Structure 1
């Protein structure tokens, strides 16, 4: 569904600034003061965003369906 959006959240208290998310989804994340930050809160579906959440070593990234809040990643 092309009109479906995802909400990207980073828990800055958990983030260790490893940069895995930037290496995995460089169009969607940046480092700010040594911590990951999403470039946009709402994004179009993109597998690299869920991969970044799945690969985050401390599970600081959450990707949710914007309209329901259902967690898409990381896979628990």
Structure 2
């Protein structure tokens, strides 16, 4: 699994950081920051959920 985020699309809702804090954070501008682009099995479900609920579609998960 590979996690990416398009900061140009991000609207700063923060759902990714709330849903998968081991994978995502927000920078000083409130935009998504990927902390772990290759998350372990223990947080992959949370990363998928974060991608699914991202309102702007900025977060992507590639299997």
TM-score by length of 2: 0.85
Structure ID, larger Rg? 1
Structure 2 counterparts to residues 36-51 of structure 1, below 5 A: 36-45=32-41, 46-51=44-49
Unmatched tracts of structure 2, length 5 or more: none
2:9 aligned to 14, 18, 21, which one?
Answer: 14
C-alpha RMSD over aligned residues: 1.0
Q: Which has the higher strand share?
A: 1
TM-score by length of 1: 0.72
Aligned length: 60
Structure 2 counterparts to residues 1-76 of structure 1, below 5 A: 6-32=1-27, 33-45=29-41, 46-65=44-63
Q: Which has the higher helix share?
A: 2
Q: Which aligned runs of 4 or more in structure 1 are off by greater than 2 angstroms?
A: none
Residues in 2 aligned to 1:16 and 1:8: alpha-carbon distance in whole angstroms? 18
